[in-house]
Amino acid sequence: MEIRASTVLPAVREDIELHTADGLTLVGELALPAEGRPVATLICLHPLPTAEGMMDSHVLRKASYRLPALAGVAVLRFNTRGTASARGRSEGKFEEGEGERFDVAAALEYAEFHDLPNPWLLGWSFGTELALKWGHDPLVHGAILLSPPLKRAQDADLAAWAEFGRPLVALVPEFDDYLRPEEARRRFAAVPQAEVVAVDGAKHLWVGEPYVRIVLNEIVRRVNPAAHPLPTEV
């Protein structure tokens, strides 16, 4: 069977709640391999909620549909404060990426408490800003950034990540609306360990199965190289 945009592969899927240090309950889902322990964990940070970003934004949803089965990777998705999806609405309200620091911390706390191995942050657009600003926690093995705008995250945040020293991979669409590969290489030069991967033909929203496959393969190349490249049929 060819893996298509709508394909959902077997996994153990569980609705979860995260509890923030400032007293909010956030809704989410954890997808685990149907058999055996995961080898790594993706903590997904979704695009801008005021522009319809949420835990079900398509690349994150497809990661949860495929990677537990194809790569032995756990996928934790959640709605940041004030964000709604089919799973429900998280408490609180949008705080421009500042109060959301507690949301990132709550997801990492959940991963630690539940012994989820080798956590990597997977941020998309607004989610990349959260990863860069609030993701340098000792638990974090690295971060993968999809379409980073580098708007809310500034040079000081890049400097902090450089000092943090963990891997940083930015997947930058050729035709991004905010930050394109040439400028991305210049900006991320402040982080010696950063890698910028330009994706020809792609746009900010990664629409189209070929681009989804590129993204998921680049993720797996970092978090579980033994499972790369991903199969296109099951």
Could you tell me if residue 189 is inside a domain? yes
Domain that holds residue 160: 12-224
Q: What is the pLDDT of residues 83-109, one digit of tens each?
A: 999 999 999 999 999 999 999 999 999
- Report the mean per-residue pLDDT for the chain: 98
Q: Is 68 inside any structural domain?
A: yes
CA-wise closest residue to 178 among 149, 199, 154 = 149
Residues 186-212 have a mean pLDDT of 98
CA-angle at 19, arms to 53 and 49, nearest 5°:
10
Instruction: Look up residue 147 and give its two tokens.
Output: 């379409």
> Is residue 136 a part of any domain in this protein?
yes
Q: What confidence score (pLDDT) does residue 105 get?
A: 98
> 133 with 159: CB under 8 angstroms?
no
CATH label of the domain that carries residue 214: 3.40.50.1820
What's the DSSP call for residue 233? Answer: B
Inside any domain, residue 217: yes
Contacts of 186 (CB under 8 A, 6+ apart): none
Between CA 107 and CA 19 the distance in angstroms is 8
Q: What is the pLDDT of residue 203?
A: 98
Question: CA 83, CA 126: separation in Å to the nearest integer?
Answer: 13
Rounded Cα distance between 199 and 49, Å, is 25
- Report d(CA 213, CA 229) in Å as an integer: 10
CA distance 7 to 62: 8
Domain contains 203: yes
Give the model's pLDDT for residue 221. 98
Position 58 in a domain: yes
From the CB of residue 118, how many other CB atoms can be counted at a distance below 10 Å? 18
Q: Is the pTM of this model over 0.85?
A: yes
CA-to-CA distance for 60 and 62, rounded, in angstroms?
A: 5
Q: What is the pLDDT of residues 3-60, one digit of tens each?
A: 999 999 999 999 999 999 999 999 999 999 999 999 999 999 999 999 999 999 999 9
Mean pLDDT over 181-202 rounds to: 98
In the chain, how many domains are there? 1
Give the model's pLDDT for residue 187: 98
Domain-located, residue 44: yes
